[in-house]
Amino acid sequence: MVRYIHQWLMANETDEHRVERILLDLAEAQPTDVVMTLLRVAPTCDRAAMTMWKTIMSSLKIAKEVQLRLLDVLGSWPEHSTRTSDGDTTRVFALAATVVVWNILQVPCVPHVVMMFFPRLFVHLLFQVFFSTLEMPKEVDKFWKTCQKQHSFTASPNRFAVRTLKSLLCRMQCEDVVVSMERKCGWDTLLCADTHHYAVGLLAK
Protein backbone atom coordinates (compact mmCIF):
# COMPACT_ATOMS: atom_id res chain seq x y z
CA MET A 1 0.00 0.00 0.00
CA VAL A 2 2.84 2.41 0.80
CA ARG A 3 4.43 1.67 -2.57
CA TYR A 4 1.11 2.21 -4.33
CA ILE A 5 0.49 5.53 -2.58
CA HIS A 6 3.98 6.73 -3.50
CA GLN A 7 3.51 5.74 -7.14
CA TRP A 8 0.09 7.38 -7.23
CA LEU A 9 1.46 10.63 -5.81
CA MET A 10 4.26 10.65 -8.35
CA ALA A 11 1.63 10.54 -11.09
CA ASN A 12 -0.98 12.80 -9.44
CA GLU A 13 0.71 15.86 -8.00
CA THR A 14 -2.44 17.93 -7.47
CA ASP A 15 -4.64 15.36 -5.67
CA GLU A 16 -2.53 14.73 -2.60
CA HIS A 17 -5.45 15.02 -0.18
CA ARG A 18 -7.16 11.93 -1.63
CA VAL A 19 -4.67 9.54 -0.01
CA GLU A 20 -4.13 11.36 3.28
CA ARG A 21 -6.62 9.35 5.34
CA ILE A 22 -5.47 5.94 4.18
CA LEU A 23 -1.82 6.86 4.73
CA LEU A 24 -2.55 8.06 8.27
CA ASP A 25 -4.53 4.89 9.01
CA LEU A 26 -1.64 2.75 7.74
CA ALA A 27 0.93 4.69 9.78
CA GLU A 28 -1.19 4.40 12.91
CA ALA A 29 -1.68 0.65 12.50
CA GLN A 30 1.86 -0.26 11.36
CA PRO A 31 4.28 2.64 12.00
CA THR A 32 7.42 0.52 11.67
CA ASP A 33 6.45 -1.02 8.33
CA VAL A 34 5.34 2.34 6.94
CA VAL A 35 8.62 4.04 7.92
CA MET A 36 10.85 1.24 6.65
CA THR A 37 8.91 0.76 3.42
CA LEU A 38 8.87 4.48 2.65
CA LEU A 39 12.62 4.69 3.26
CA ARG A 40 13.09 1.70 1.00
CA VAL A 41 10.74 2.88 -1.77
CA ALA A 42 12.05 6.46 -1.80
CA PRO A 43 15.36 6.65 0.11
CA THR A 44 16.29 9.94 -1.58
CA CYS A 45 13.05 11.52 -0.28
CA ASP A 46 11.61 12.70 -3.58
CA ARG A 47 8.63 15.03 -3.89
CA ALA A 48 6.01 12.32 -3.40
CA ALA A 49 7.84 10.84 -0.42
CA MET A 50 8.13 14.24 1.22
CA THR A 51 4.40 14.74 0.77
CA MET A 52 3.87 11.44 2.56
CA TRP A 53 6.24 12.32 5.41
CA LYS A 54 4.52 15.68 5.94
CA THR A 55 1.12 13.98 5.98
CA ILE A 56 2.29 11.45 8.55
CA MET A 57 3.84 14.18 10.69
CA SER A 58 0.61 16.20 10.66
CA SER A 59 -0.92 13.92 13.31
CA LEU A 60 0.80 14.30 16.70
CA LYS A 61 -0.19 10.83 17.88
CA ILE A 62 1.11 9.11 14.74
CA ALA A 63 4.12 11.42 14.43
CA LYS A 64 5.40 10.33 17.85
CA GLU A 65 5.54 6.68 16.81
CA VAL A 66 7.00 7.49 13.40
CA GLN A 67 9.66 9.77 14.87
CA LEU A 68 10.71 7.01 17.27
CA ARG A 69 11.14 4.64 14.30
CA LEU A 70 13.20 7.24 12.46
CA LEU A 71 15.40 7.63 15.54
CA ASP A 72 15.92 3.86 15.63
CA VAL A 73 17.00 3.95 11.99
CA LEU A 74 19.33 6.92 12.57
CA GLY A 75 20.99 5.03 15.40
CA SER A 76 21.48 1.83 13.39
CA TRP A 77 24.57 2.85 11.42
CA PRO A 78 27.15 1.35 11.26
CA GLU A 79 26.81 -1.41 13.88
CA HIS A 80 24.08 -3.28 12.01
CA SER A 81 21.86 -2.97 8.99
CA THR A 82 18.19 -2.24 9.47
CA ARG A 83 15.90 -5.06 8.41
CA THR A 84 12.57 -4.54 6.68
CA SER A 85 9.56 -6.77 7.33
CA ASP A 86 10.15 -8.73 4.11
CA GLY A 87 13.70 -9.60 5.13
CA ASP A 88 15.59 -7.03 3.06
CA THR A 89 18.53 -5.29 4.71
CA THR A 90 20.33 -2.16 3.62
CA ARG A 91 23.02 0.16 4.94
CA VAL A 92 21.68 3.33 3.36
CA PHE A 93 18.67 3.73 5.64
CA ALA A 94 20.44 5.83 8.30
CA LEU A 95 21.61 8.37 5.75
CA ALA A 96 18.20 8.22 4.05
CA ALA A 97 16.59 9.03 7.41
CA THR A 98 18.93 12.02 7.76
CA VAL A 99 17.73 13.30 4.37
CA VAL A 100 14.15 12.97 5.65
CA VAL A 101 15.00 14.89 8.84
CA TRP A 102 16.75 17.60 6.80
CA ASN A 103 13.69 18.06 4.59
CA ILE A 104 11.35 18.16 7.58
CA LEU A 105 13.51 20.85 9.19
CA GLN A 106 13.13 22.99 6.06
CA VAL A 107 9.33 23.05 6.37
CA PRO A 108 8.12 26.45 7.69
CA CYS A 109 6.24 24.85 10.58
CA VAL A 110 8.44 22.05 11.87
CA PRO A 111 6.32 19.32 13.51
CA HIS A 112 6.34 19.69 17.28
CA VAL A 113 7.32 16.04 17.68
CA VAL A 114 10.73 16.73 16.10
CA MET A 115 11.44 19.27 18.81
CA MET A 116 10.09 16.89 21.43
CA PHE A 117 12.76 14.32 20.62
CA PHE A 118 15.51 16.91 20.17
CA PRO A 119 18.06 15.34 22.60
CA ARG A 120 18.00 11.92 20.95
CA LEU A 121 17.91 13.35 17.45
CA PHE A 122 20.86 15.62 18.24
CA VAL A 123 22.96 12.74 19.60
CA HIS A 124 22.14 10.41 16.69
CA LEU A 125 23.10 13.08 14.16
CA LEU A 126 26.31 13.77 16.06
CA PHE A 127 27.25 10.10 15.94
CA GLN A 128 26.36 9.93 12.27
CA VAL A 129 28.81 12.75 11.55
CA PHE A 130 31.51 10.62 13.18
CA PHE A 131 30.59 7.32 11.53
CA SER A 132 30.20 8.83 8.06
CA THR A 133 33.64 10.39 8.49
CA LEU A 134 35.17 7.00 9.32
CA GLU A 135 33.61 4.79 6.67
CA MET A 136 31.63 4.99 3.48
CA PRO A 137 30.43 1.61 2.14
CA LYS A 138 30.07 1.43 -1.65
CA GLU A 139 26.28 1.16 -1.54
CA VAL A 140 26.09 4.27 0.68
CA ASP A 141 28.42 6.18 -1.63
CA LYS A 142 26.30 5.22 -4.63
CA PHE A 143 23.12 6.24 -2.81
CA TRP A 144 24.61 9.61 -1.86
CA LYS A 145 25.58 10.39 -5.44
CA THR A 146 21.94 9.86 -6.40
CA CYS A 147 20.87 12.24 -3.60
CA GLN A 148 23.35 14.85 -4.78
CA LYS A 149 21.96 14.67 -8.29
CA GLN A 150 18.31 14.78 -7.21
CA HIS A 151 18.57 17.49 -4.54
CA SER A 152 21.64 19.37 -5.83
CA PHE A 153 23.51 18.59 -2.63
CA THR A 154 27.18 19.51 -2.84
CA ALA A 155 28.23 18.32 0.60
CA SER A 156 29.68 14.93 1.49
CA PRO A 157 27.56 12.73 3.80
CA ASN A 158 29.37 13.85 6.95
CA ARG A 159 29.12 17.53 5.99
CA PHE A 160 25.45 17.01 5.21
CA ALA A 161 24.96 15.49 8.67
CA VAL A 162 26.66 18.57 10.16
CA ARG A 163 24.39 20.82 8.11
CA THR A 164 21.36 18.94 9.42
CA LEU A 165 22.71 19.24 12.97
CA LYS A 166 23.14 23.00 12.56
CA SER A 167 19.64 23.33 11.10
CA LEU A 168 18.25 21.44 14.09
CA LEU A 169 20.06 23.76 16.52
CA CYS A 170 18.74 26.83 14.72
CA ARG A 171 15.21 25.45 14.89
CA MET A 172 15.72 25.08 18.65
CA GLN A 173 16.77 28.75 18.75
CA CYS A 174 20.38 27.84 19.53
CA GLU A 175 21.92 30.02 16.82
CA ASP A 176 24.50 31.21 19.34
CA VAL A 177 25.87 27.67 19.56
CA VAL A 178 26.14 27.44 15.78
CA VAL A 179 27.93 30.80 15.57
CA SER A 180 30.26 29.99 18.46
CA MET A 181 31.29 26.72 16.80
CA GLU A 182 31.86 28.56 13.52
CA ARG A 183 34.18 31.08 15.20
CA LYS A 184 36.26 28.29 16.73
CA CYS A 185 36.28 26.27 13.47
CA GLY A 186 34.49 23.61 15.49
CA TRP A 187 32.35 22.31 12.66
CA ASP A 188 35.37 21.60 10.45
CA THR A 189 37.13 20.03 13.42
CA LEU A 190 34.12 17.79 13.92
CA LEU A 191 34.65 16.38 10.42
CA CYS A 192 38.08 14.96 11.18
CA ALA A 193 38.25 11.62 12.99
CA ASP A 194 41.41 12.66 14.84
CA THR A 195 39.89 15.89 16.21
CA HIS A 196 36.26 14.82 16.50
CA HIS A 197 36.53 14.28 20.26
CA TYR A 198 37.90 17.80 20.76
CA ALA A 199 35.08 19.29 18.65
CA VAL A 200 32.46 17.40 20.66
CA GLY A 201 33.99 18.97 23.77
CA LEU A 202 33.61 22.45 22.24
CA LEU A 203 30.02 21.67 21.35
CA ALA A 204 29.30 20.43 24.86
CA LYS A 205 30.59 23.68 26.35
Does residue 34 belong to any structural domain of this protein?
A: yes
Bin 106: left if φ > 0, else alpha if -120 < ψ < 50, else beta.
alpha
Q: Which amino acid is at 52?
A: M
Q: Looking at the domain assignment, is residue 184 inside a domain?
A: no
Please state the domain count of the chain: 1
77 inside domain: yes
Per-residue pLDDT tens over the stretch 170-198: 999 999 999 999 999 999 999 988 998 99
192 falls within a domain: no
Q: Mind listing the pLDDT tens digit for each residue in 33-80?
A: 999 999 999 999 999 999 999 999 989 899 999 999 999 998 876 554
- Could you tell me the residue range of the domain that residue 117 belongs to? 2-173
Q: How far is CA 52 from CA 59, 88, 191, 202, in A?
A: 12, 22, 32, 37
Torsion of CA 191, 92, 11, 69, to 10 degrees: -90
The torsion angles phi and psi of 200, rounded to 5 degrees, stand at -65, -35
Q: Is 181 part of a structural domain of the chain?
A: no
In a domain, 119, yes or no: yes
